[in-house]
Amino acid sequence: MKLLNKIPVLVLISLLIALTGCKNKKAGSNEEKNKPDTQKIESKAETPLPAQVSDLQSEQALREAALEGNYDKVVQLIGKNVNVNAIDEERRTALMFAAFNGHTNIVQALLDADAKVDMKDLSGRTALLYASTGPFPKTVEILLEYGADPNMIDNEEHFTSLMYAAAEGNMEVVKVLLKNNADPSMTDIDGDNAVVFARQNGYENIAELIEKKMN
């Protein structure tokens, strides 16, 4: 598959968000508007959380709140011990939804509440892969701090987080990924690496940065 033909796959991620009334991310807005709140969830090291409860309606509400950036609602549901790792029909979690829209404070809250950082949806995408499609370096950095694998690939095209960031022109995300051992030599099923993704989408400065890391 030619690179220019498969780049729309990145855009189509937003169409996979099947929750009723969901909102797509707006480049450059959500991360700045959703900085970590001064109110923090107590660390499990200090106060172990009770066993999480299973309630399908509450679990969906958590995913919706995470997607929409409703921090107060997310904290409220976490406080009720709603399962933060509950999945929808596509095996997507609240963490994936929050990461996709760059809601850094919610990502932090979910991780502090024991959200699993490298869970995969049906397409093999992780929260880090979702976050890397947008201009959200702080979100990406937090996920990496909590152990996200920067070299995880999806099931379909074998895209990496670095490929997504390079193709979308997210320079700051590319820098964070490279700093955290993202492998620039990895290729997708067609043999294309992140340099190719950047260059064929007009991001020569990103292509050059990645090439320097490879040399």
Q: Which domains does the chain have, with CATH numbers?
A: 3-14+51-214 (1.25.40.20)
Return the ∠ at Cα 139 (arms to 212 and 161), rounded to 5°. 45
- pLDDT higher than threshold 60 for residue 20: no
pLDDT at 53: 55
User: What's the mean pLDDT when you consider all of the chain?
Assistant: 83
- The per-residue pLDDT for range 173-198, each reduced to its tens digit, is 999 999 999 999 999 999 999 999 99
pLDDT (tens digit per residue) in 112-153:
999 999 999 999 999 999 999 999 999 999 999 999 999 999
Which residue's entry shows tokens 């480049």?
27
Task: Tell me the CA distances in angstroms from 129 to 100, 105, 136, 193, 202, one per residue in order.
Answer: 8, 18, 11, 15, 21
